[in-house]
A and B are shown apart, each in its own frame.
Chain A
Amino acid sequence: MAQMEIAEASRRNGHVKDPPPAAERRSLVRSVLETVADQVQLRIPRADLDERDPDFIRERLPLLWLLATIWFRGEVRGLGNIPDDGPVLMVGNHSGGNMTPDTLILTLAFSAYFGVERPFYQLAHNLVLSMPWLSDLRRFGTVAASPANARRALEAGAALLVYPGGDYEVHRPSSQANRIDFDERKGFIRLALAQHVPLVPVVSIGGQETALFLTRGEGLARLLRLDRMFRLKVLPISLALPWIVNIGDMLGHVPLPAKITVEVLPPIDLEAEFGPDPDVDEVYEHVTRLMQQTLDALAEERRLPVIG
């Protein structure tokens, strides 16, 4: 009691400052986060398709091949389904947290099969491209995910790989590993229709076995306003090497050597199959159902997690 009185007297005399009120603290945190968000936005490179460097890709293919062959025992089927030339929109399910081994394996397979001379771009989250240690991705043909960039790539006659599920799908819990979940994002269909390009579904399995994904942490992301500042809907929590408990996966992780299998499905000509003015919802249902069936078939082939 006496201590409380002394403390009160000290505060009155100005020896001890009052702690900032809760509202003030929150606004301080908010302004720091907003400054970081602004910096991140500034760091996002303008998508320049010319940054793709075929010689650079070619020289990195042996490294990708070693990783894909020895670590992930990657297997890609049906590459012949991708039209030999011209623009094409490849739509994949995304797995493996921020390490995305499925992209690595598909990039290797595509570049080896069609040659690095064929323009091939991949859309990625802004945050991925703003990380300094991932700047080489731009030389691989990775550009920030936006409708304008996607349009530019297809207009240039390139093959474009998109993952509609993005950060939402890539961090889904391991219990939903074999589920296609694009979070109802249908922009890829409007893009294919507007550009009159074939849509090629690409289904992969195994990526979600490279760590134990516990939760997307959507509530946490909302609480920290990550969705508004960084376009991040999730703040995932997983058990992964070397962090053990991995929150956010911003620094990546060492993926477990899970066997990755990728299957490329036959191209879909949307206008030929659904008429000149297709219903986007109907096409979405069709594409995701087709991909889910393929994923189910791939899952049936697997005997054990990681081992494949």
Chain B
Amino acid sequence: MRVAAGARIAAPIETVWEIASDPSRALNFMSGVTRWEVASDPPTGLGARYRMLMRIGSAEVGGLIEIVEWRPPHDFAWHSVTGLDQRGRLRLRRGAGGRTRAEFRLAYGVAGSGLSGWIAEHVAAPSVQRHLGRSLTQLGRLAEQEHRRTRAARGSAVRT
């Protein structure tokens, strides 16, 4: 099953990337995510691993994931190592007027689970979709707030 959500963020791509790629801030914007722990050294970049869980229905599902693509400030993608089969991607692109277009994609499932797996994936899809949408909204708020703060700091520096 593949779900995706998109948003336009009124902040530069670099600011959005800085927040989104920082594992210590993942729980600040990722909706439904109950755990996002660094499980590797280094904590970010290609090959970094995280133990993540997202509450969907009656269970917290997820597992160990690994970053398989890392292109600052545009893309990072991950694959599951253990747990639920998943492939996720956060895709950022420069928009007009210094804005950022953001897209969150997640493909998930359990190989070999047959009909029950197919039904479960479809039943879970609206919840996952909602979590992705909210995550982008919250990421946008954080980035826009950070951008405003930076601009204000720059403005006061010029005045002094």
**Are B58 and A59 within 8 A (Cβ)?**
no
**Are B82 and A113 within 8 A (Cβ)?**
no
Closest to B127 in A: A69
B53-88 toward A: CB 8 Å interface, digit per residue (1/0)? 100011111111000000000000000001110000
**Are A58 and B120 within 8 A (Cβ)?**
no
**Are A63 and B116 within 8 A (Cβ)?**
yes
B64 to chain A, nearest CB (A): 7
**Are B58 and A113 within 8 A (Cβ)?**
no
Closest to A69 in B: B57
Q: Is A72 close to B, CB under 8 A?
A: yes
Kindly list chain A residues whose C-beta atoms are within 8 Å of the C-beta of B64. 115
Q: Is A70 close to B, CB under 8 A?
A: yes
Q: Is B107 close to A, CB under 8 A?
A: no
Q: Is B126 close to A, CB under 8 A?
A: no
Tell me, in angstroms, the Cα distance from A69 to B127 when the chains sit together. 12
Q: Is A55 close to B, CB under 8 A?
A: yes
Q: Is B152 close to A, CB under 8 A?
A: no
Closest to B53 in A: A113
**Are B63 and A68 within 8 A (Cβ)?**
no
Tell me, in angstroms, the Cα distance from A73 to B57 when the chains sit together. 8
Tell me, in angstroms, the Cα distance from A63 to B115 when the chains sit together. 9
Interface-lining segment among A74-82, A155-163, A184-192: A74-82
Tell me, in angstroms, the Cα distance from A60 to B53 when the chains sit together. 19
Kindly list chain A residues whose C-beta atoms are within 8 Å of the C-beta of B114. 59
Kindly list chain A residues whose C-beta atoms are within 8 Å of the C-beta of B7. none
Closest to B112 in A: A59
A54-97 toward B: CB 8 Å interface, digit per residue (1/0)? 01001111110110111011111001000000000000000000
**Are B57 and A65 within 8 A (Cβ)?**
yes
Kindly list chain B residues whose C-beta atoms are within 8 Å of the C-beta of A109. 58-60
Kindly list chain A residues whose C-beta atoms are within 8 Å of the C-beta of B83. 112, 115
Closest to B114 in A: A59
One of A62, A113, A117 near B120 (C-beta < 8 A)? A62
B2-17 toward A: CB 8 Å interface, digit per residue (1/0)? 0000000000000000
> Which residues of A are in contact with B by a Cβ distance under 8 Å?
55, 58-63, 65-66, 68-70, 72-76, 79, 105, 108-109, 112-113, 115, 117
The 3 closest A-B pairs by CB, nearest first: A69-B57, A62-B120, A74-B58
> Which residues of B are in contact with A by a Cβ distance under 8 Å?
53, 57-64, 82-84, 110-114, 116-117, 119-121, 123-124
A-B contact pairs, 14 of them (CB 8 A): A59-B113, A60-B113, A61-B59, A62-B110, A62-B116, A62-B121, A66-B119, A69-B57, A70-B57, A72-B58, A74-B58, A108-B58, A112-B61, A115-B64
